[in-house]
């Protein structure tokens, strides 16, 4: 078998066999197939796509490249969630304790942020002394005792994805649905949960820019999960503007605490409850309406917040700030941005706001960059709201005034203010399951 022939076959839109896909993935991970041939293959997939069978085989080959987590010693149903990535998306910090407070276990492995999107592990790392590099014994012990734990992905979880993703990142092949689906699903299946809820983001700040693309990606992922015997659903949610008001690690933890205490921004509460309800449904806790009510009760009675504090404490984190109003303001510099016009806010483009937050120090451009956990943006106004010239639109947090000046330029380009009332995007657009699609 030759890599050349496999690349040629995919270029010509022909279906590859299991032997061929395996040859390529294994050969690349083992260092026998060079980057330039793998790059050509990835670009061929980008243009030619893959059949459902090819997607399943690719996922299986990636899965077989590393460790699979066996959660069977944790009794009862285990449920996982994954977001395809967004700006201000802190829902994992909220839904994990909600679902655990409803009696369903969540043993969650998460990643760090890269580029304009944030990562759950960075948000947790902003909590003083919080440990996310736990060994398997400690991780399992916390899930058994508390009901949930969030840790960093082990180094050996789908090593094929690490190598291939790094190559996709520099060869303009990230935005390929079969490649995204196999990348995400191999990691989710390797993480061992019985049920997987996918939050597929759509819009300006997401990989999927159109609803049709988001539906197609959801269908591929749900299909892969079902073929591996998992209960999977995908909820398609809006990512045209940031979720909630906070972007940046410590700011997002504070906002998550607000939601868990029963207050906080309406959009974030709504998406968090919908995701939690869907996770509970997958875990067999009842109808969607029952599960939504169960989830809502945990915010109203404080049990989800209690669960979050227990989880953070069990992982060594300091929870003393969580009850305070303004604990996330350790950044040296606070810089207000004022409305330059009067009218309604029509757009706050998520991708640019993510970039502005990264410039302030909250994210990393390259894997090895350091993060300033206190940096970020707090929005005082959101899309659809009325502003008067001179009102504070946002506060930037950073260690450096020059960074604020650069970030303000990007922020101003990403916000549109206009006289007429804007049409608001629906937050929750559809649910895709193995039964089909429900549009909302
Ligand atoms: N997230 C992943 O884990 N993989 C992708 O390919 C895209 C988003």
pLDDT band at 82 (very low <50, low <70, confident <90, very high): very high
Active-site entry in 80, 89, 122, 161:
161
Distance (Å) of CA 87 to CA 15, 201, 235: 36, 10, 17
User: Is residue 116 scored above 80 in pLDDT?
Assistant: no
Decide which of 194 and 117 is more confident. Answer: 194
Pocket test for ligand 1, best of 84, 115, 153, 196 (most atoms within 8 A of CB): 84
d(CA 238, CA 3): 40
The residue whose CA is least distant from atom 6 of ligand 1 is 180
Q: What is the mean pLDDT of residues 51-75?
A: 95
Domain with CATH 3.40.1030.10 in the chain: 79-322+428-439
Domain 3-49 has CATH 3.40.50.1820: no
The residue whose CA is least distant from atom 3 of ligand 1 is 184
The torsion region of residue 109 among left (phi > 0), alpha (psi -120 to 50) and beta comes to: beta
Angle formed by the axes of helices 18-29 and 52-63, nearest 10°? 30
Is-catalytic flag, 320? no
- Cα 204–chain centre separation: 15
Compute the chain's Rg from CA coordinates.
22
User: Is residue 66 scored above 80 in pLDDT?
Assistant: yes
Domain with CATH 1.20.970.10 in the chain: 3-49
Is-catalytic flag, 161? yes
Maximal CA-CA distance, the chain: 67
The pLDDT assigned to 396 comes to: 97
Q: What is the mean pLDDT of the chain?
A: 94
d(CA 207, CA 105): 29
Is-catalytic flag, 82? yes
The residue whose CA is least distant from atom 2 of ligand 1 is 184
Active-site entry in 112, 168, 177, 309:
168
Residues with CB under 6 A from ligand 1: 84-85, 174, 179-180, 183-184
Q: What is the mean pLDDT of residues 149-178?
A: 90
Architecture of domain 79-322+428-439: 3-Layer(aba) Sandwich (3.40)
Is-catalytic flag, 168? yes
| Ligand 1 center–CA 87 separation, angstroms | 15
The pLDDT assigned to 100 comes to: 98
Tell me the per-residue pLDDT of 326-366, one tens digit each, with 9 for 90 and over: 665 688 999 999 999 999 999 999 999 999 999 999 987 77
User: Is residue 155 scored above 90 in pLDDT?
Assistant: no
The pLDDT assigned to 326 comes to: 67
The pLDDT assigned to 97 comes to: 98
| Ligand 1 center–CA 230 separation, angstroms | 19
Q: Which atom of ligand 1 is nearest to the CA of 180?
A: 6
Domain with CATH 3.90.1170.30 in the chain: 333-418
Pick one of 3.30.1180.20, 3.40.50.300, 3.10.20.30, 3.90.1170.30 as the CATH number of 333-418. 3.90.1170.30
Tell me the per-residue pLDDT of 89-115, one tens digit each, with 9 for 90 and over: 999 999 999 999 999 999 999 887 766
């Amino acid at each position: 078998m030759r890599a050349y022939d496999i690349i040629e076959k995919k270029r010509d839109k022909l279906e590859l066999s299991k032997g061929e896909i395996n040859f390529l993935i294994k050969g690349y991970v083992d260092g026998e197939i060079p980057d330039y041939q793998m790059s050509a293959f990835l670009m061929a997939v980008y243009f030619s796509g893959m059949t459902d069978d090819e997607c399943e085989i690719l996922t299986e080959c990636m899965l077989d490249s590393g460790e699979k987590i066996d959660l069977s010693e944790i009794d009862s149903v285990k449920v996982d969630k994954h977001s395809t990535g967004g700006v201000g998306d802190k829902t994992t910090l909220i839904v994990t304790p909600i679902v655990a407070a409803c009696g369903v276990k969540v043993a969650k492995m998460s990643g760090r942020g890269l580029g304009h999107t944030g990562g759950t592990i960075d948000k947790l790392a902003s909590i003083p002394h919080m440990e996310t590099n736990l060994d398997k014994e400690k991780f399992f012990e916390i899930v058994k005792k508390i009901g949930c734990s969030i840790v960093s992905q082990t180094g050996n979880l789908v090593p094929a994805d690490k190598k291939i993703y790094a190559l996709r990142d520099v060869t303009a092949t990230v935005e390929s649905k079969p490649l995204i689906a196999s990348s995400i699903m191999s990691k989710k299946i390797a993480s061992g949960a019985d049920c997987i809820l996918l939050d597929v983001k759509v819009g300006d700040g997401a990989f999927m820019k159109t609803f049709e693309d988001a539906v197609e990606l959801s269908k591929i992922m749900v299909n892969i999960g079902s073929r591996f015997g998992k209960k999977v659903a995908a909820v398609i949610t809006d990512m045209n503007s940031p979720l909630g008001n906070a972007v940046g690690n410590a700011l997002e933890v504070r906002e998550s605490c607000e939601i868990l205490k029963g207050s906080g921004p309406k959009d974030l509460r709504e998406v968090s409850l919908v995701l939690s309800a869907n996770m509970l449904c997958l875990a067999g806790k009842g109808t969607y309406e029952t599960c939504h009510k169960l989830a809502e009760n945990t915010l109203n009675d404080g049990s989800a917040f209690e669960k979050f504090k227990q989880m953070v404490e069990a992982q060594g984190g300091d929870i003393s700030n969580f009850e305070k109003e303004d604990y996330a303001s350790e950044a040296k510099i606070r810089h207000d941005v004022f409305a330059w016009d009067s009218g309604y806010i029509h757009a706050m483009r998520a991708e640019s706001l993510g970039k502005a937050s990264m410039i302030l120090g909250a994210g990393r451009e390259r894997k090895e960059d350091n993060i300033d956990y206190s940096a970020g943006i707090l929005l005082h106004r959101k899309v659809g709201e009325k502003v008067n010239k001179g009102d504070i639109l946002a506060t930037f947090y950073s260690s450096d005034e020059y960074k604020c000046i650069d970030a303000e330029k990007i922020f101003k380009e990403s916000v549109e203010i206009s006289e007429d009332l804007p049409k608001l995007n629906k937050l929750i657009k559809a649910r895709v399951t193995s039964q089909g699609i429900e549009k909302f």
